[in-house]
Amino acid sequence: MFTCSSAAAPAPRQTERSKQKVLAEKTRAGIQQKLAELKREVSKTENEREDAADTLAESEEAISDANRVLRDLAGEQSEINATVAELAASQERLAATIASQKQQLARLLREQYVAGNEDRIKLLLSGDNPNRINRDLQLMAYVSKAQAKLLGSLHGNLAAVASNRDKAENAREELNEIAQEEREQKAVLEKEKARRAALLGSLSNRLAEQRKEIGGLERDEQRMAGLVDKLSKLIKEQAEAAAAERRRQEALAAARAKAAEQARLLAAAKKAERKAERERERERERERLAREAAKQPPKVDPRTGARIAPVPVPVPVPMDTVDDEPPVVAQTPEPKPEPGAPRKPDIALAPAMPEGAFASLRGKLRAPISGKLAARFGAKRGSGPSWKGMFIKADEGSEVRAVAGGRVVFARWMRGFGNLILVDHGSEYLSIYGNNQALLRREGDAVKGGDPIASAGNTGGNEESGLYFEIRHKGAAVDPAGWVNF
């Protein structure tokens, strides 16, 4: 439940999700602008006559956007819930590790206390059994080293606990954000559906007349051909930019690898020098202790009066070796990369499939939707031009899936095709999906075969609900029946 806060309450902090959304929108801005200009160029060649379906464009685009946002929010909600569960499990692991480390530290402190915490110089000059002296020195070195490692590890784990708490709080705030956005988008969706229904009622006669016009069908085909031609040029430019970017990244990676190897060799040399210095220090300390022992008056056996031979000075154990071993911190799961993360604008439409991959799938592609085939490629459209693709009748809202992997290069409303989405499969192959109720993917998104990319509808003034589907190669329409298993 939400409660009203006072006017003096601090503004809610910006969540990581909000920051990522702002960054994603900035990243997409470049390609969105290019595609908007491309669409305007395609429309320039047309007669500026009014089309009844254009009246529906705004509400149909709004319905598509609301459906896509609701679907994205549901996916985000699922991912954040999984993150919250991961954080809870990680917190339990850290708590168990910290409890164990505290017990180990307590045990080491008890051992140090039992050992008497004797000064090393006193121990060396005690004249006690050399074996016992050496054993005690080794124990003191072990306890000091173990304490340092445990304290470092404990510090790291306590920091991880604090970090987990922050992440969990951020996740809860993000879930609240999503719930609010879902409420807003559902309200928008209902409003736009009602608006579209009212417009359809007033435009039904005009839409029916325009569907019969031969000139309108021909203009639709010209519009699609112009769009595909301009998109193909843009995709080629982006592919060249992507190849240049890959070469640049490879050169950077090679330079980093060379620098890393040089740093490794330098570190190894410094480590060897530190080791040699420790050995020299160890020798100097042994000599100093020997001199200290030589200054002591000779000990005499009280029973015989004979001198007792001096005790050999044990070589002290170097204590700074702890620095060579970083503290071990309990492992927490690495954050997973977000699916569909936006790419750089200059290569946003570069092909996502290798050359020749799509051609090898000829005759093996899955159907984009389940439904009844109502119009085939090449069939006449009344007394007008022939079909350049096929129309598949399906219930409104049915999932439309990509026939193969690729990249979304166009996803917006266009006259004659309604909410339209095009997927580039490389090697100048495109699959085209029209008359959709909603477009579920954005321009620049990489998709796999079978991924949902839209939902079926009758946008663009189409009479029946379903999917208009095409495949094009080098700009020319090809028969989908030779490629897809319907």
Residues 201, 190: Cα–Cα separation, whole Å: 17
Q: What is the pTM of this model?
A: 0.60
Residues 222, 309: Cα–Cα separation, whole Å: 110
Q: Strand pairing of 399-401 and 476-478?
A: unpaired
Is the distance from CB of 459 to CB of 419 less than 8 angstroms? Answer: yes
pLDDT of residue 207: 62
Dihedral angle sign, alpha carbons of residues 256, 258, 260, 262: negative
pLDDT of residue 182: 79
Closest C-alpha among 463, 455, 458, 459 to residue 397: 455
| Residue 416 buriedness (CB in 10 A; 0-12 / 13-18 / 19+) | buried
Rounded to a whole number, what is the largest CA-CA distance in the chain?
Answer: 134
Q: How far apart are the first and last CA of the chain?
A: 49
What is the number of residues in the chain? 486
Is the distance from CB of 420 to CB of 434 less than 8 angstroms? Answer: yes
Q: What is the DSSP letter of 359?
A: G
Q: Rounded to the nearest 5°, which phi and psi values hold at 266?
A: -65, -40
- pLDDT by 10-residue block (mean), the chain, 486 residues: 44 64 62 67 54 74 85 83 84 84 78 59 53 59 69 79 81 80 81 77 66 70 89 86 86 93 93 92 84 73 68 52 45 47 52 82 94 92 85 95 94 92 94 95 92 94 91 95 90
Residues 143, 150: Cα–Cα separation, whole Å: 10
Residues 164, 167: Cα–Cα separation, whole Å: 5
pLDDT of residue 140: 60
